[in-house]
Structure 1
Amino acid sequence: MDLALPPLMVSAGFLPTGSLLESLIYISNDVTSIEKLPFVQVKNVSTMIRRIKLLSSLFDEIQETNSPLPPSSILCLTELFSVIRRVKFLTQVCKEGSSLWNLMQTEFVSNQFHVIAKEMGRALDILPLSLLDVTADTREQVELLHKQAKKVELFVDPKEVQRREELLGVMAANNERNSKKKGLIDFGKVREILSFIGLGNPVDYDEEISKLEKEADKQAGTGGLIVVSNINNLISLVSLSKPMIFSGGTNEKLKLRSASFRRNHDHSSSSQSTIFSIPDEFRCPISLDLMRDPVIVASGHTYDRNSIAQWINSGHHTCPKSGQRLIHMALIPNYALKSLTQQWCEENNIPVTESVLSSSSDMGRSSSKRKLCEKVIDHISATKTASDAVKMTAEFLVGKLATGSPVIQRQAAYELRLLAKTGMDNRRLIAEAGAIPFLVTLLCSPDPRIQENAVTALLNLSILENNKVLIMSARAIDNIINVLQSGKTMEARENAAAAIYSLSMIDDYKVIIGASPRAIPALVGLLVEGTTAGKRDAATALFNLAIYNMNKASVVTAGAVPLLIEQLMDDRAGITDDALALLALLLGSSEGLEEIRKSRVLVPLLIDLLRFGSPKGKENSITLLLGLCKDGGEEVARRLLMNPRSIPSLQSLAADGSLKACRKADALLRLLNRCCSQARNPVG
């Protein structure tokens, strides 16, 4: 009888037990020793710290016993190390990042905590607590934690949602056209909101501005134009609120006399003049005059719309203040500064042209009635002003794709890639601007970055259903397969695989893509050569194509089956669930069944996965075993019966598994029972 460790354990490359326990204790102490909790997400952070304290007691006790650990516990402890490390990172983001930005993303951050808590529960599913030498109290605490983690629900702090809504309302004050005090910002409310997230003095405001600036820099490479402009609006709000809030309730510091502005008072019989100095924050860097319609350019600097428009129209493509080359010419309204400028004008009786300071944007209108998406960006991009900006930007960038030098094309494709990453409206507007045919052409570019940006932009655009049709109509599939097969960077190849997955969501395109003699072999090749993410993209694309029965044979012929089994043997590959799902699907064809039956290592792997796999992995493992045992699979059935781990694992799943796993485990047990009966009572 083979009593060796399961293959998954041998190949996983885990740390030695002592080192793993020390690492767990160290990282747990790191998390639980946090003294000052963040003001945003305080409930989620404190709950997670409490859970890790309970686990920390378990780790300490295991180490103190100094007893050998059962091999089955190593997988669980490794999973818990990964979970706690993610808790540490997320807690640091909440504690050290911008509190204002975390408030704006409260649902998104809360969901991250929820996902981690569920993963903690899944890790504890495979903890062999009964085999560990721990006290009854510790065992009881861990069992309770396990039950709580299994039933954990998403928690979004309603107070944070309320404060975020109030903040959006403040920022949209300039657009409430029916208000008698249109344009006035309630700085008392601003102070109340910022105090809620821990900003209580000028130093706190300065630190928050610095954190927002760092966030804007970080998002510039991943979030695109709209998200950066939104962060800049927040920076403007905090920067310009600081002197208002900490000036003792007066604005005298903003009312220094000069010869910049004059106004005749209507209520006076004599022609009196009042003269004010414009605060530097309200001056346009070009004209040095009051910014009546402030806008943000690509560099992040703010100018008056008329001044910067004249600068750009005269042929300049750089930021006047920084000298930095502008990667696009879109002008994004600075809502916060516009509201503050209008308030300053009204307080100082300076006339303001209605059509100038009343933005045509509807940002913020009915914001309390609208459910915000993961990020505030989707909320803002839904407004007319943002849509107009995206449309103008897309048209400008498409022009650069068509006529620019390779350097310009590379930058334009990159900016379109970012713009298409956020929001369905963006994807629609980019397609309407005519970007798709030019991006398809650029897939053949000899420049690696142009190719990579073009295929990723097409991937992002393909998320919109109608864009799938446009991409296929542009005869993109051959070029995408070329990139998949021999792209100049691995990222380009992997994103080409993801694009094929996205396009194949439409049934007709499964047929078209599968009919290409190069598509499926190229995806199978990526199973060997790709990164973990690339292998997963390839496996999911192959799965999607194999839903169409005619493609199953092509996937098998391309050599996918032995490669998928090889991925199961290498736990570091990270695509166990995807590989199992694809194998289970291929089992439905005669070619797939024949090829899978050739493997001598698959059955022991599947038996191990019945115990250590994810819930989905267990379901697909049973599907494979059941399929292999049917229709002449007596040899597989005998191997299952001879393995001492198979029957207990199947009985456990039949009792406690998911509905699908329970049904299939029960069917497999009945089949094995019949095999036993036939072996005891042979016919004739």
Structure 2
Amino acid sequence: MGGNGKFLKLNFSFYRNSHSRSSSKAQSPPPPPPEYICPICNSLFTDPVVVGSGHTVDRLCAEVCEVHNFKPDFPDGTRPDFSTKIPNLALRTAIPTWCSKNGVALPQEKENVAVERIVKELLEKEERENGLIRPSERFLIDSVKDKADPDLSHAVTELTHRANRFDTSTSSEESVIAAASPLTPLPFTTRPASCWSPFHTSSSDTLVSDEAMNPNPNFSDDEEFISKFKSCDPYEQEQGAISLRKATRNDEEARVSVCTPRLLLALGSLLFSSYEKVQINAIAALVNLSLEKSNKLKIVRSGIVPTVIQLLRGRLSEAQEHAAGLIFSLSLEEKNRTAIGVLGALPPLLNCLLRSDSERTRSDAALALYNLSLDHSNRVKLVKQFNAVPPLLAVLRQEKESIAGRVLLVLYQLAASTEGKAAMLDGNAVEHLVWMLRKGKGEFESESTRENCVAALYALSHGSMRFKALAKEARAVEVLKEVEENGSERAKEKARRILVVLKGRIESEDGLGEGIDWEAILEPDGGLSRTRNRVAVGPGFGKTTEF
């Protein structure tokens, strides 16, 4: 009897616990509908877009997959086409409504690093299933960490001593800007500063042989390099990277022929090396390969860029120099700019520009930021997400003219957008630019610096009433009149148009300019076409000023 009572009591207790659990389950929120879940990252959509194949995915997932040239295999057996991305407005509205109704927190915006990791895992899983095994970062580091460290005392790299720049006349393809009109900033024609002049000969550059100066032009097979890169011996890896670096130093044909997906995959693995010389020679070889226009897209799609960005953040100054030069070179390709921004290059480039001890690094970082700022999404990130305007303005007063001139190019692009113009006016950019013009009166090493300074002022003046008040406070008229009298033809034209805008303000205050449409003066009849130069002044701008 007692046993039965005990049994009944136990049953009763068990029943109550089960009931409690059932009640708890009944109170938990229901799972989201499958159509609210991104098929790539398996979480609620934050920015759903419909891609070319009709699938709906998160925008960031689509962009990262596109960067890696990866089309995941969805459960229904189809693969997406990321060539177009149209916002799915219905889902954007439906998901917050569902979350509010069911007491679920709104999904947080996805981070680049997290999505990058998910896509890489999917890519590696597919490669394993297809018999292609990509070595992990940890495996590459572990494979050499127990090896004896080679003697690093003789030099940082085999090719340490470099000339300041390539001869600018040899690189028409690498123009940072093409002079489109007399009102765009003066063009820079340059290659990454981390490259070496093929004509540089130094008595201290004794480790560069005659073979390095005249490498074999008949490189058509990447197997020799790949076998060395895959060696577990760091010395062999270093020698392979040095060989590739020499082979692609001057030979354009070699750069094209050896730049295969297999070689890029193997070369990219060296960037994870714990040995400095391996890292430096590998990233330097990548800079050489990137000089060919046909290689730029290949390199980005190989998945190397995230590792290059890590080198930008690193403490190894020479690797950082090459990394900045590589990003600059890759960003010359228009199709790469969005991807490089999505992968997170903007913050470390800003940091290099502001804090690096190397002038080469700062110069290439500034030019990379300029190229990337030609993309609208990158401009918005620079202004809103990374608050880049105040430190960029500070550079104008702190850096030497060569660096400041490149920063002016970035500011010019930001000023041509609504967000950038507002941030620059808030940051008192007019005073900074007028100060620079006044300080550099008759002392500019390059007329392009004054040209770019006036161009930035013109971009701020276009369609802005605030500019007129700030320019008056900064006493800009006297400086601009001096430019109009003594500047280059391009600078004179821009200065004249700014003075027209300011004159309209002054005469309006005196009651003399009523009824005059000063903005119309800036139309094609006045010498400048907003359509031709694509200067954005409204919310619908998709293309900003192009050079």
Selected match of 1:452 from 271, 274, 280: 280
Asked if the contact 1:523/1:538 (under 8 Å) is kept, the reply is yes
Q: Deviations over 1:611-633 (max 9, x none)?
A: 24432221221122223334344
Q: Is the 8 A contact 1:532 1:574 kept in 2?
A: no
| Residue-by-residue CA offset, 1:535-587 (whole Å, 9 max, x unaligned) | 11111111111111121011223132112111111134840110111101111
Deviation track 1:272-300 (CA, whole Å, cap 9, x = no partner) reads: xxxxxxxxxxxxxxxxxxxxxxxxxxxxx
User: TM-score scaled by structure 1?
Assistant: 0.42
Structure 1 segment 113-124 matched on structure 2, within 5 A: none
| Structure 2 counterparts to residues 402-441 of structure 1, below 5 A | 402-431=230-259, 434-441=262-269
Distance 1:442 1:111, change over 3 A: closer
Q: 2:347 aligns with which of 496, 521, 525?
A: 521
Q: How many residues align?
A: 314
Structure 2 counterpart of 1:666: 496
1:471 Cα deviation from its structure 2 partner: 1.7
Instruction: Give the letter aligned to residue 360 of structure 2.
Output: A
Matching residue within 331, 339, 346 for 1:512: 339
In terms of Rg, which structure is larger?
A: 1
Q: Deviations over 1:214-253 (max 9, x none)?
A: 96865554577242xxxxxxxxxxxxxxxxxxxxxxxxxx
Change (3 A) 1:222 1:648: farther
Contact between 2:255 and 2:289, CA under 8 Å: does it hold in 1?
yes
What is the deviation of 1:458?
0.7
Structure 1 residue 509, shift from structure 2 partner: 1.2
Once the two structures are superposed, the pairs formed by residues 335-346 of structure 1 within 5 Å of their partners are: none
Match 2:393 to one of 554, 565, 569: 565
Structure 1 alignment gaps of length 5 or more: 1-107, 113-213, 228-376
TM-score (norm 2): 0.52
Q: Which has the higher contact order (CA 8 A, sep 6+)?
A: 2
Alignment of 1:335-484 (within 5 A): 377=214, 386-388=216-218, 390=219, 395-431=223-259, 434-484=262-312
User: CA separation in 1, counterparts of 2:279 and 2:315?
Assistant: 8
Alpha-carbon contact 1:609-1:618 (below 8 Å) kept:
no
Deviation at 1:404, TM superposition (A): 4.7
**How far apart are the structure 2 equivalents of 1:510 and 1:111?**
25
Deviations 1:135-170 (A, max 9, x none): xxxxxxxxxxxxxxxxxxxxxxxxxxxxxxxxxxxx
1:304 paired residue number = none
Q: CA deviation at 1:498?
A: 1.7
**Partner residue in 2 for 1:622:** 454
Render the CA deviation track for 1:460-481: whole Å, top value 9, x for unaligned. Answer: 1111122223322321122222
Question: Do structure 1's residue 680 and structure 2's residue 507 form an aligned pair?
Answer: no
Distance 1:554 1:109 in 2: 34
Q: For the structure 1 residues 515 and 223, does the alpha-carbon distance in structure 2 shift closer, same or farther, using more than 3 Å as the test?
A: farther
Q: 1:396 to 1:433 in 2, by over 3 A?
A: farther
Confirm or deny: 8 A CA contact 1:224 1:418 kept in the other structure. Answer: no
The one-letter amino acid paired with 1:418 is K
Does the aligned pair in 2 maintain the 1:391–1:433 contact within 8 Å? no
In structure 2, what is the Cα distance between the partners aligned to 1:677 and 1:524?
A: 42
What's the offset of the Cα at 1:432? 5.4
Q: 1:222 to 1:570 in 2, by over 3 A?
A: farther
More helix as a share of residues: 1
Contact 2:245 2:281 in 1 (8 A): yes
Unaligned ranges ≥5, structure 2: 1-165, 171-199, 515-547
| Partner SS state of residue 672, structure 1 | helix
Shift of 1:610: 6.1
SS state at 2:452 partner: helix
Say whether the 8 Å CA contact 2:370–2:409 is kept in structure 1: yes
Contact 1:501/1:544 (8 A) holds in 2: yes
CA distance 1:575–1:222, change in 2 (3 Å): farther
Change (3 A) 1:110 1:527: closer
Residues 1:585 and 1:433: Cα distance change in structure 2 (over 3 Å)? closer
In 2, Cα distance between equivalents of 1:585 and 1:441 = 36
Q: Secondary structure at the match of 2:259?
A: helix
Instruction: Report % sequence identity.
Output: 25
| One-letter amino acid of the counterpart of residue 568, structure 1 | L
